[in-house]
Amino acid sequence: MEAEDERIRELESKFEMAYAAAYRLACSKEDFLAARNTLEVAFRKFTDGLNSDILFKAKVLQAEVFASLGQKKQAKGAIREANEIQLTEHEKVQLNSIYERLKEINEQVETD
């Protein structure tokens, strides 16, 4: 846990810190409501100057959180927004597992 705390302290922006907090809330604690609220604040306040890769990861997490809360319309919107983010080929390779998760979420909200 100390290593994770150190990694969080080294994050460059408030958005990245909010993303990391939302990720932990969603994935470790399964507190999807708190994760949704954290992401909403981050998207509203801290998006200036973001790298496209962190923005993409946050949109995918947002889609996953919405899907987990049964908010299909919002999940579909987040999926659409994630797909609209322009990434370099290098970023696409690095984010391959995130792309795969986005496809899974899309299939989930389309079949529910």
Print the domain residue range for 66. Answer: 2-111
Per-residue confidence (pLDDT) for residue 5, from 0 to 100: 58
17, with CB counted inside 10 A (0-12, 13-18, 19+), is: middle
Q: How far is CA 6 from CA 18, 22, 72, 75, in A?
A: 15, 17, 35, 32
Name the residue with higher pLDDT: 56 or 7: 56
**Number of structural domains, the chain?**
1
Q: Does residue 81 have a pLDDT over 80?
A: yes
Q: Does residue 85 have a pLDDT over 90?
A: yes
pLDDT per position as a tens digit, 9-67: 565 688 988 999 999 999 999 999 999 999 999 999 998 888 899 999 999 999 999 99
Return the CATH number at 73.
Answer: 1.25.40
